Structure 1
Amino acid sequence: MEIERKYLIDKQNLPKDLDRYPCRHIEQGYLCTEPVVRIRRDNDDYFLTYKSKGHMVREEYNLPLTKEAYEHLKAKTDGRLIVKDRYMIPLQDGLTIELDIFGGDLAPLLLAEVEFPDEAAANAFEPPAWFKEDVTFSSQYHNSTLSKK
């Protein structure tokens, strides 16, 4: 199960010291959006992912792919290929902000996700002051939706 909250971020409110946090380059495309079947390159790792319907709580299964299998499937994706840099920013209680800075024609979109161990923790979460609008329950900001626009 994946339990996460998602927020829009305003560029003016970004932490000034982003370069001190680990950053991963991500490229992903969708073979299907209902249900979600996605391929992703995360630095030098490759995955096929299935996600169930839902917003804050969803099933998620990740299967490893070879680079060759990823490249083969990449040619079969629908819509745009999403590219983003993901910064991993530690929070209290062992939580981590996954700050996505989108590239390509999705720039200057900025989204932050925080994953939780359970729904109670997700519901009790108080976001940092630099987070903007909570879009957890908006399908508009699912990457699978962004891939179609």
Structure 2
Amino acid sequence: MEIERKFLIEALPPDLDSCRSHIIEQGYLCTEPVIRVRREDDDYWLTYKGKGLMVREEHNLPITREAYEHLREKADGNLITKKRYLIPLDNGLTIELDIFDKPFAPLVIAEVEFASEEEAGGFVAPDWFGKEVTFNSEYQNSSLSRKKF
């Protein structure tokens, strides 16, 4: 189960380069239900996500680079590339800050994952977070993959 809240970011936090980061590339084989292939640095995943916005089922299956490359060619719509920074919070949570490449740039989204809906509901976002878009499906990566430019 994935429980997360999403926020738009207009100004990047200081000391971002001191945080761990990953380069991510992903494509969508299907958007209802969501079936995604992802390369995260040198790791490769096939992911199923159920319906929902803040809470939804999620299953990740590791795959080989060859399988990823084969499936990526079958992806519909836009291939999404982004740099993800992992920013630790004092409460043990982690902000996943995604800086999207073209054609989505200058889009920047922060996601925070939680162990429960209660924890998600009690989360107080840092001051530098912008508008919350958790319940706006337009900002789901699967929706972005279908966006026309």
User: Is the structural similarity TM-score above 0.5?
Assistant: yes
> Which stretches in structure 1 are left out of the alignment for 5+ residues?
none
Paired position in structure 2 for 1:99:
97
SS at match of 2:131: strand
Which ranges of 4 or more aligned residues in structure 1 deviate by more than 2 Å? none
How far residue 8 of structure 1 moved from its aligned partner, in angstroms, is 0.3
Local SS of the residue matching 1:145: helix
Counterpart selection for 1:132 from 130, 133, 136: 130
Tell me the equivalent position of 2:46.
48
Give secondary structure in 1 for the equivalent of 2:69: helix
Measured against aligned partners, the alpha-carbon deviations of 1:86-132 in whole angstroms (never above 9, x if no partner) come to 00000122100000000020000000000001000100111000000
Distance in 2, matches of 1:76 and 1:5, equals 30
1:114 aligns with 2:112: yes
- Superposed displacement of residue 142, structure 1: 0.3
Could you list the runs of 5+ residues in structure 2 that have no partner in the other structure? none
- Alignment partner of 1:131: what SS? coil
Q: 2:17 matched to 1:27?
A: no
Aligned-residue sequence identity (percent) comes to 65
Letter in 1 for 2:89: L
CA distances 1:12-60 after superposition (whole Å, capped 9, x unpaired): x211211000010000000000000000000000000000000110100
Question: Residue 73 of structure 1 aligns with which residue?
Answer: 71
**1:2 is aligned to 2:2:** yes
Residue 36 of structure 1 pairs with residue 51 of structure 2: no
Q: TM-score, normalised by structure 2?
A: 0.97
